[in-house]
Amino acid sequence: MSYTKELEAPARPLGVYTRPKGNTGWRDWITTIDHKKIGILYGATAMVFFGIGGLEALLIRLQLATPNGTVLGADTYNRVFTMHGLTMVFMVIMPLAAAFANYLLPLQIGARDVAFPRLNALSFWVFLAGGLFLNMAWLLGDAPDGGWFAYAPNTGVIFSPGHGMDYYAIGLQIMGIASLVSAMNLIVTVLNMRAPGMTLFKMPVLTWMILVVQFLLLFAVPVITVALFLLMFDRNFGANFFNPEMGADPLLWQHLFWIFGHPEVYILILPSFGIVSEVIPTFSRKPLFGYPFMVFSGIAIGFMGWGVWAHHMFVSGIGPISVAAFSVSTMFIAVPTGVKILNWLATMWGGRIRFTTAMLFATGVVSMFTVGGLSGVTHSLAPADTQQTDTYYIVAHFHYVIFGGSLLGIFAGFYFWWPKAFGHLLGEKLGKWNFWLMLIGFNMTFGPMHILGLQGMSRRIDSYSPGFGFEFWNMFASIGAFIITTGVLIFVINVVASARRARHEPPVGPDPWDARSLEWFTPNPTPVHNFDELIQVESLDEFWHRKYGEDEDGRVVRVASAEEVCQDGSATDVHLPSPSYWPIILAAGFPFIGFGLMYTLWLCVPGAVLILMAIYGWIFEPTDDPDGPQGHHDNPSGPDPGEDVPSEGASDAVETAEEAPVG
Amino acid sequence: MIPKLLRMVRLTTLAGGVLLALNGCASDAPLDTLEPQGPISRSIDSLSDPIFLVAGIVFVLIFGATAVIWWKFRDDHSTEEFPHQLHGNFRVEIAWTIGPAVIMAVIAVFALLSHFDLNSEDRQDIVLLVDGEQTSWDPEIVVVGQQWWWEFRYYFDGLDGVDLSDPRHLPPADIVTATQMVIPTGSEIGLSITSRDVIHSFWIPALNGKRDAVPRRISPWKIEADVPGFYFGQCTEFCGLSHARMRMQTVAMTPADFQVWVDEQMQPGVEPTDAAALRGMAVFEGQCARCHAVNGVYTKATEVGADLVANAAPNLTHLMSRTTFAGGIFDLYEPDGSLNRTQLEAWLRNAPAEKPAYAEGRRGMPAMGLSEGQIDDVVAYLQTLGARPDMRVIAATEVE
Amino acid sequence: MAEATAVDHGHGTGTGLSNNKLLMWVFLGSECMLFGGLISTYLIYRSRFAEGPAPGDIFDIPFTSVSSFVLLMSSLTMVLALSALQRGDIRNNRVWLLATALLGSLFIGGQVYEFTTFVREGLGYTTSPFSSAFFTLTGFHGVHVSLGIVMLVSLLISSFRGTLTRERSETVEIVGLYWHFVDVVWIFIFTVIYLVPSPTS
């Protein structure tokens, strides 16, 4: 393969370094660098993992439905609960948030794509590689069994022989790379590529929350990276980071893990808060109450989240002064969160509320997160936490905030933005069944866990004896889990049924919800080039203000219809970045390296080759394929990226990104 | 409309139900944190009860507000006009930022007072007869967690000068027992908690919150019972395969009864006279003494250690004075006071089948490969190790 | 390499920095946390040397000081390389890039010598928490320096191919940012590990 020839004649790329043309079908998806497709890939993949994690949850609930359960043996149970946690946190909630961030963030800031589209694709494929790698452990009979929190020394090589915890460490490292790269990409995108006139304080709250999350990821992921490296070195090279017999401090793992782990929970919740902040105003027909406070409280949560990590360690023996400090800081982080709840209620107050499914889910977040937040306040009091920590009371708390907060918010987002992504609405009737079943099932499952915890049921136990009083609520909770499952299945049915129905119905048309932010300028589904022409932004909720003005009495009057304001997607002179297959090839190298580290170093060789080859290909592939079609086409069957005349500011920045990659 | 009302009713009932339950309508829950039985747990409870109430009230307010807002501001299609486009109210938002902050600050004061009290030490010496000599004991017990059982060590000369830095090689103690920690009532007992392998957590909910047992670290904690009784516990830090089956009990006795217990526990093991027991003793010497100590008789485990990663196994000198075995998961006695022979034999026959462990990794008791005859004999020998406790103790500490 | 559109880097961006340069800054922010975690681990473990050598027994401060000076000088040559290219002086750009790479390699050579000496003197990777933390921290730093050298060599290669022109000086600037960061981290590491008085056995 001669690079020299390619460099001397840049207009004639050769062989494998030819850029893929816009294809349809599976090749399109494999090589896409379109943020919208990548968002959909994240969402679909996460929902598959949701099924797997949900199955793991059902197994747990089946085992715990009765005392001395025999559904799972102790060893299997430990693997199942570990994988359930890992799956739900890293392979469901985070990528679902990434789905929304990827799809919506460029649209909400009026850009054509993210700053580094190929890096964006890389993030997805690396995430998929990591998630598949970790789940391969099941197939090889050695899934990790040390809990998602993996406390040392239990996860060291003496107490966790076998490869389970190696899968854990390597799988999370791989997924960490995906998150870190994505964080860098989105930060640069938001800081650099906003539409003309869009100052930071004219950005929608969802964009703000995503931005805060990316900063949290940027600084938190390296810390768990360090922790995982130290664990890998202990397990594989005999290092002494967590070996108390050699003088190490097992609490070091806990500190490193939770310095990551606490910001991580804000990473999990803030995107959902952003979604709720978009949905509630739309369906209350009023602007968000207190935009500046909503933005600042999100930033405050982001900052304060770094100062509370040891509340996960109140009984670990860190000493009363440390505990006191973290107890106080934890109590105060309730304040910015409480502000959000009250502002959402104030948004609804005085409004004219439409109870669409999206609105139901969003309001569900407000109530259910409140429960989780309040139980959180009860654990912030260190003395009380000495009774509560490591019991099912904590399990109740975090499921209320993650399921009741993050997941319900994500479902609100599904129902709200489905038409934007797919051109049709999700059915409202099935949607309501989806919502109520999920809500009822969820409360049935996790509500009683507050009681179980306070009655002394420890966490992470594979079974319990009769005579401790745990039987009734465990059975109740297990039934609730099946109701949740039914609710989720209804969602899946809704997705399929709505797609089918959409084939014989007219397209949904622009702006089905009478919404407020920039993404609704584009037709539904969004054309591949996003905006026909870039929007000049003059205010927050720019889209709304193009449709509505005020009369002399200050009442809202329509000044333009959605059809007049919205673009029609017909622009043909938009230059778009070309697809690439180097991201998936690069990502494919990681599992080889992972298996190589565990089984035989020879396997690292093909992995390293794939990665290095992909890096080279990436750097040297031409920005455009000069053999490609001239002009920008929109196929009736689907979008087709075109290559042509460079266009306005934002896509210049995109082009810049393509031409001078950093080593 | 009806669905919304139903939702209101349903969720209010849930909230109410939770509150009711929280107020302790569950009585058959030996690990209940809401029924404190000692002064320390009561002080924790006196902090958390009002907080639960405050949290419950806030929840009802927020949830109620949501329901009211939903009802009052629903779109009934009576008008197409837009509502007043209020963007915010600076004063109100400042108020509901500062208000909760002030509330939290007040709560923080109470929490900190309770916290520093919880972490303070206020022990009084206990006067005991140890080996016939009057001793002033600064009551501290060394609590050692190990996969998957708890050991309790009593040093009646106090812990000053006792080197606890290596839990796998602890200095010889006056009393070494397992699973059931016996304490006198009416005294604050200090606990020095550590571990020989991974992180565990010591927790007797009725008497105090929990504290982690961290290898090579000593975590100071305390416990106090004011009424004689039997208090159950559970390891509460995930510690591997049999974390669910790592349990303990605290038995609180009057000071007089405690003295009797101390005297009893300080007796060394005696040579049995019964033939079966003698045969069992021979088997014990060959198979069990590698790991288990009987004071004065089989001391290899005390002096050198056990054949396990953590270098220790339960001291069996007074096994019969305990009412549970195998890490607190099996009753040693039937309700009528007879030995739970079936379970004990099953344990001796194949311990890993009764309680998952990593015997091949030298963590946990292996299947010893004993014949049925040997098992009978060993049981006969074990029955000579210690005196059966009072029937009330047996009844109160049933775990199965 | 394709394209050579004279794009005014940073034009039309929200921050005034080009996307590539901003990306490097953002990446370096995350690297601060990476090294922060490793340095914290070292600080906790510097006095836990089990039965092996203690830091105060084994470090050769004069040697490491020379090594540090070499790395510091490489930052100077990096700056000179950039400013040469910005002036259009391709030849000197190559000279200074080469100098930077050589100085960096000299630093790595010093590290390798130092590590092998320590191993001979009884401080291996698995000797104690102190040794594991020391080698991991300095090892990660060394890997970062080595990757930097790879990037410098790539720049040299593209310079010899004629594609590293004045218009593309930002690429050198961005590699320079990385290189200076690696140098600054070393200053922290050197101070924390070597200069702060260490425990002896």
pLDDT in tens, A185-198: 999 999 999 999 99
Mean pLDDT value across residues B123-149: 96
Nearest to A350 among B84, B88, B243 (CB): B84
Nearest-CA distance A307 → chain C (Å):
15
> Each residue of B41-85: pLDDT tens digit?
999 999 999 999 999 999 999 999 999 999 999 998 888 889 999
Nearest to A191 among C22, C38, C154 (CB): C22
Nearest-CA distance A257 → chain C (Å):
11
Averages of pLDDT over runs of 10 residues in chain A (663 residues) are 37 56 81 96 98 98 97 97 98 98 97 95 98 97 96 96 96 98 98 96 97 98 98 96 96 98 98 98 96 97 97 97 97 96 97 97 97 97 97 98 98 98 96 98 98 97 94 98 98 97 91 95 93 93 94 89 90 86 96 96 96 93 61 35 32 36 34
B126-130 and B133-137 strand pairing:
antiparallel
| Of residues A303, A436, A295, the one with CA closest to residue A360 | A436
Residues in chain A: 663
Q: What is the pLDDT of residue A264?
A: 98
Contact A241 C29 (CB under 8 A): no
| Of residues A371, A34, A358, A409, the one with CA closest to residue A213 | A409
Whether the CB of B32 is below 8 Å from some CB of chain A: the reply is yes
Residues of chain B contacting residue A289, judged by C-beta atoms under 8 Å apart: 86-89
Q: Compute the distance between CA of residue A249 and CA of residue A255 in angstroms, rounded to an integer.
A: 10
Q: What is the DSSP letter of A313?
A: G
Strand, helix or coil for residue B222? strand
Q: What average pLDDT does the structure give for chain B?
A: 91
Nearest to B214 among A250, A460, A465 (CB): A250
Residues in A 181-210 with any Cβ partner in C closer than 8 A: 183-185, 187-188, 190-194
Strand, helix or coil for residue B80? coil
Residues of chain A contacting residue C170, judged by C-beta atoms under 8 Å apart: 660
Contact C20 A657 (CB under 8 A): yes
Q: What is the DSSP letter of B74?
A: B
Residues of chain B contacting residue A286, judged by C-beta atoms under 8 Å apart: 82-86
Nearest-CA distance B244 → chain A (Å):
4
CA A91 to chain centroid: 8
Question: Is 90 exceeded by the pLDDT of residue C9?
Answer: no
- What are B227's two structure tokens? 């009424």
Measured over the CA atoms of residue A313, residue A317, residue A323 and residue A327, the dihedral's sign is positive
Q: Where are the beta strands (DSSP E) in chain B?
A: 126-130, 133-137, 140-146, 149-154, 175-178, 180-184, 189-195, 200-202, 211-213, 219-223, 229-234, 247-253, 324-325, 330-331
CB-based contact B292:B222 (threshold 8 Å): no
Q: What is the pLDDT of residue C10?
A: 63
Mean pLDDT value across residues C78-102: 97
- A573 class by beta-carbon count within 10 Å (0-12 exposed, 13-18 middle, 19+ buried): middle
Q: C: neighbours with 3+ CB pairs under 8 Å?
A: A
Give CA torsion, residues A131, A133, A138, A139, to 10 deg.
Answer: 130
> Each residue of A10-36: pLDDT tens digit?
344 455 556 776 667 888 999 999 999
* C-alpha to C-alpha distances, A552 to A122, A206, A556, A603, B87, nearest whole angstrom: 53, 32, 10, 74, 18
Residue B261: asked if its preceding bond is cis (omega within 30°), the reply is no
Q: What is the pLDDT of residue A426?
A: 97
Contact B59 A371 (CB under 8 A): yes
Whether the CB of A322 is below 8 Å from some CB of chain B: the reply is no
What is the DSSP code string of B326-372? TTTTEESB-TTSSB-HHHHHHHHH-HHHHS--BGGGTBSPPP----H
Residues in chain B: 400
Question: Is 60 exceeded by the pLDDT of residue B306?
Answer: yes
- A574 class by beta-carbon count within 10 Å (0-12 exposed, 13-18 middle, 19+ buried): buried
Q: For B211, phi and psi rounded to 5 degrees?
A: -140, 135
Q: Compute the distance between CA of residue A249 and CA of residue A245 in angstroms, rounded to an integer.
A: 9
Contact C171 A115 (CB under 8 A): no
Residues in A 168-207 with any Cβ partner in B closer than 8 A: none
Element (H, E) at A556: strand A556-558
- What are A60's two structure tokens? 């747990």
Element (H, E) at A105: helix A94-108
Whether the CB of A71 is below 8 Å from some CB of chain B: the reply is no
Strand, helix or coil for residue C23? helix
Q: Where are the beta strands (DSSP E) in chain C?
A: none
* ipTM of model: 0.94
Q: What is the pLDDT of residue B330?
A: 95
Nearest to B93 among A160, A293, A366 (CB): A293
Q: What residues does B149 pair with on adjacent strands?
A: B146
Q: What residues does B294 pair with on adjacent strands?
A: B298
| Of residues A576, A578, A577, A572, the one with CA closest to residue A532 | A572
Which residue on chain A is closest to C10 by alpha carbon? A653
Whether the CB of A352 is below 8 Å from some CB of chain B: the reply is yes
- Chain B and chain A touch, per 3+ beta carbon pairs within 8 A: yes
Question: Is 60 exceeded by the pLDDT of residue B19?
Answer: no
Q: What residues have CB less than 8 Å from A276, skipping those under 6 apart?
A: A344, A362, A365, A366, A409, A412
> Each residue of C120-166: pLDDT tens digit?
999 999 999 999 999 999 999 999 999 999 999 999 999 999 999 99
Contact B116 A459 (CB under 8 A): no
Mean pLDDT value across residues B212-234: 96
Q: What is the pLDDT of residue A575?
A: 83
Strand, helix or coil for residue A65? coil
Residues in B 112-151 with any Cβ partner in A closer than 8 A: 112, 114-116, 118-119, 147
Percent residues over pLDDT 90 in chain B: 86
Contact B212 A341 (CB under 8 A): no
Q: What is the pLDDT of residue C80?
A: 98
Q: What is the CA radius of gyration of chain B?
A: 27
CB-based contact A625:A660 (threshold 8 Å): no
Whether the CB of B207 is below 8 Å from some CB of chain A: the reply is no
Q: B: neighbours with 3+ CB pairs under 8 Å?
A: A
What is the DSSP code string of A490-553? HHHHHHHHHHHHHHTS----S-TT---SGGGGS-SSPPTT--SSPPPP-STTHHHHHHEEE-TT
Q: Compute the distance between CA of residue C189 and CA of residue A146 in angstroms, rounded to an integer.
A: 33
B189-195 and B133-137 strand pairing:
unpaired
Q: Compute the distance between CA of residue C183 and CA of residue C73 in angstroms, rounded to an integer.
A: 10
- A144 class by beta-carbon count within 10 Å (0-12 exposed, 13-18 middle, 19+ buried): buried
Nearest-CA distance B370 → chain A (Å):
26
Question: Is 50 exceeded by the pLDDT of residue B242?
Answer: yes
* C-alpha to C-alpha distances, C191 to A308, A317, C43, C47, C124, nearest whole angstrom: 29, 31, 11, 16, 22
Nearest to B58 among A151, A374, A554 (CB): A374
Q: For A572, phi and psi rounded to 5 degrees?
A: -120, 0
Q: What average pLDDT does the structure give for chain C?
A: 93
